[in-house]
Chains A and B, each alone.
Chain A
Amino acid sequence: MAAPKGTAIRRTPLERIEYAIIVTTLLAMVVVMLQPILNLLAVSFSDPSQVAGKSGLDIWPSGFSLDVWMLLLQHPNVQRGILNSIFITATATFIGVVGTALMAWGLSRPNLPGRRIIFLLVLVTIVFEPGIIPDYFLMKRMGLLDSYWSVILYKAVNAWYLIILVRFFEEIPEELLEAAELDGANPFQIFFQVVLPLAKPALATIALFYLVFHWNEFFRAMIYLNDQTKYPLQVVLRQFVVEGDKLAIVGADNAANNIGVAQINLKALKAGMIIITILPILAIYPLILKFFTKGTMSGALKG
């Protein structure tokens, strides 16, 4: 911890060396976390002819070209992937926030009859997960396989986020609610006009949780969706980069429509694909830092 204010800090040479080692270690960690991302960014903006053999340590483009970006952003699979991901993430986040907030409000009322049973029902789902095969068959039975809804509804209301919100609602001072009740507000009005405005930071945190979760989800999309045109961006990325399925981006019929795809360096295309997929996360990262960091800190302090 920082030295108490007002006291003069006297440091021996040994302490200075220690401090230098600590700071260097942390800065090294920063480099390890950020350098690979910067390298991919540099590769994606490099002149495609200079990408082959470009060192993984490089964080500056070799030459400069927008070819990779133009090509990827004009590619039908990528465009569809982006639209699918935006649609799935937006819808699922909306449903998630609304469903979680309404349910958490009910569960946060200490005298609600049946509260304990409902809580237990939710906790059981955390403890016992029968696995992916029964989930798959449920989707099949509901006729949702190969539909966006299979992915949207997967973990649409998350038990953990629900518990976080219940804890938050429980903290709202009882007097505020009673005052609203005396003013003649019904429970719905109290929820929408008193509780929700108070809960804005908590709701923003939950919304970000859902947003990140749904944007990053790939496994369920991979098993529930057959139709390639419905794939979210993560699955397109996985096909291309992880499974090494070049057909996903530079396949025969794609190549026919996109002359030049085959000539462009695969490594550069992969790098560009990864960066495109994390752009939305980077865009909301300042918000994440603001809400998540604070939320986690206060949660841990209270706990």
Chain B
Amino acid sequence: MSSVEQNATAIASVSGNVPISRRVANGIRRWWPYYVMLAPGLLFFLIWHYFPIWEAKMAFEQVRIIPPNLWVGLKHFQTLFASPVFYQVLANTLIISTLKILFVFPVPIIVALLLNEVRSGKLRKFVQSAIYLPHFLSWVVIAGIFIAILSPSDGAVNQITGLFGIKPTAFMTDGNSSRWVLVFSEIWRSAGWDSLLYLAAIIGIDQSLYEAAELDGANRWQKVWHVTIPGIVPTIATLFILNMGMFLSADLNQVINFLNDVNRGQIDILDTYVYRIGLRTGEYSLATAAGLFKAVFGMILILSAHFVSKRLTGKGVW
């Protein structure tokens, strides 16, 4: 049967009163090649993303060397919620996320506004090419770079503050500065690249609005304030809500490279806690319980973010 005929049968099967078995048979005949192509990816998702959900039942079990594990209900959650360390890491996570929203989030917006003012295309391209680079470096590399520039003996930062007679600080092992090291390394990594999204939004703004503003005698700042910024507010809102959706994450890949015994009290987050008690000390069930706590609240946050964003800007998380 040719594809066209198949099409015809498929259409007929939807409209007519063909028995359901025929309809399924027709559907399979028409669509099997697509299912074959879908299968490897789908199988991958089922195995690598759905099996772990099943494995997570460990949070409700006593892991025994000889299976089966013992069902203990909410015991591990009770242990978790009674543990001061848990509240410490939860607080750290929330503080670090808040600092990032306050101090990291606005930077790419400012960068995009500045870039937009650059008249020379060559200069703008040059700046863009340079500032996007850090986004593509791993956190291991970035941590290595920050260890170097923050070195108390010859790091760039202490060299500069030294010019003003300030005594060198060992930022990496100073509990007071460790959260700020996270903030600044995040800015260093993402300020350039994240500005791209805002720049794209700015380019999408109707040019006639600028012309109209110019006719009204608006200067540079008035144009930015009355045309550009209102034009990118939807993008800002979407990205802000997305960021809120990731509030409980605070970025494991980053933190684990900056964490040491001295700053643990300040930057130990939920994910690093789960990693430590789970894979280092072997308290699998407790770690899984903490992981599930994060997963469930993270899910609530992301879903709320999605629906709020969809409601306000028409754009969701996906």
User: Most chain-A Cβ atoms within 10 A of its Cβ — which of B38, B51, B158, B315?
Assistant: B38
Contact of A29 among B131, B137, B153, B154 (CB under 8 A): B131
Task: Decide if B72 is an interface residue (CB 8 Å cutoff).
Answer: no
Contact of B37 among A4, A106, A216, A297 (CB under 8 A): A106
Residues A128 and B4 in contact in the complex (CB < 8 Å), given A157-B45, A238-B257, A296-B196: no
Inter-chain CA distance A186–B275, complex, in Å, is 49
Q: Shortest distance in angstroms between B193's beta carbon and chain A's nearest beta carbon?
A: 9
- Is the CB–CB distance between B200 and A300 below 8 Å? yes
Contact of B211 among A4, A130, A157 (CB under 8 A): A4
Task: Decide if B181 is an interface residue (CB 8 Å cutoff).
Answer: no
- Is the CB–CB distance between B154 and A134 below 8 Å? no
Closest chain A residue, CB of each to CB of B49: A125
Task: Decide if B170 is an interface residue (CB 8 Å cutoff).
Answer: no
Contact of B235 among A1, A128, A300 (CB under 8 A): A300
Contact of A103 among B38, B145, B155, B200 (CB under 8 A): B38
Binary flags per residue of A259-303, CB closer than 8 Å to B gives 1, else 0: 000000001001101100110010001001100010011001101
Count of chain A residues near B, Cβ 8 A: 105
Task: Decide if B64 is an interface residue (CB 8 Å cutoff).
Answer: no
Q: Which residues of A contact B303 (CB under 8 A)?
A: 127
Q: Shortest distance in angstroms between B32's beta carbon and chain A's nearest beta carbon?
A: 9
Task: Decide if A203 is an interface residue (CB 8 Å cutoff).
Answer: no
- Is the CB–CB distance between A293 and B132 below 8 Å? yes
- Is the CB–CB distance between A138 and B52 below 8 Å? yes
Task: Decide if B101 is an interface residue (CB 8 Å cutoff).
Answer: no
Residues A103 and B41 in contact in the complex (CB < 8 Å), given A133-B288, A297-B200: yes
- Is the CB–CB distance between A218 and B140 below 8 Å? yes
Closest chain A residue, CB of each to CB of B150: A56
Q: Which residues of B contact A242 (CB under 8 A)?
A: 140, 143-144, 147, 257
- Which residues of A96-140 are within 8 A (CB) of B? 98-100, 102-107, 109, 111-113, 118, 121-138
Q: Which residues of B contact A56 (CB under 8 A)?
A: 148-149, 151, 154-159
Q: Which residues of B contact A127 (CB under 8 A)?
A: 299, 302-303
Q: Which residues of B contact A106 (CB under 8 A)?
A: 34-35, 37-38
Residues A26 and B127 in contact in the complex (CB < 8 Å), given A156-B44, A297-B200: yes
Residues A129 and B295 in contact in the complex (CB < 8 Å), given A106-B38, A134-B53, A162-B41: yes
Q: Shortest distance in angstroms between A105's beta carbon and chain B's nearest beta carbon?
A: 6
- Is the CB–CB distance between A216 and B138 below 8 Å? yes
The 10 A-B residue pairs with the shortest CB-CB distance, nearest first, are: A131-B291, A103-B41, A216-B138, A106-B38, A56-B156, A300-B200, A134-B55, A187-B33, A134-B52, A125-B49
A interface residues (Cβ-Cβ under 8 A, vs B): 1-4, 15, 18-19, 22-23, 25-27, 29-30, 32-37, 39-40, 53-57, 98-100, 102-107, 109, 111-113, 118, 121-138, 141, 153-157, 159, 162-163, 181-182, 184, 186-188, 191, 212, 215-219, 223, 234-235, 237-238, 241-242, 267, 270-271, 273-274, 277-278, 281, 285, 288-289, 293, 296-297, 300-301, 303
**Given A113-B27, A242-B147, A297-B200: 11 more A-B contacts, CB < 8 Å:** A4-B207, A40-B148, A100-B41, A132-B291, A133-B58, A184-B2, A216-B136, A218-B140, A274-B148, A297-B196, A297-B199
Interface CB pairs A-B, < 8 A, 11: A29-B127, A36-B156, A56-B158, A105-B37, A127-B299, A128-B53, A133-B288, A134-B58, A141-B51, A242-B140, A271-B148
B interface residues (Cβ-Cβ under 8 A, vs A): 2-4, 10, 27, 31, 33-35, 37-38, 40-42, 44-53, 55-56, 58, 111, 114-119, 123, 126-134, 136-141, 143-145, 147-149, 151, 153-160, 188, 191-192, 196-197, 199-205, 207, 210-211, 219-220, 235, 252-253, 256-257, 271, 274-275, 278-279, 284, 287-288, 291-292, 294-295, 298-299, 302-303, 315, 317-318
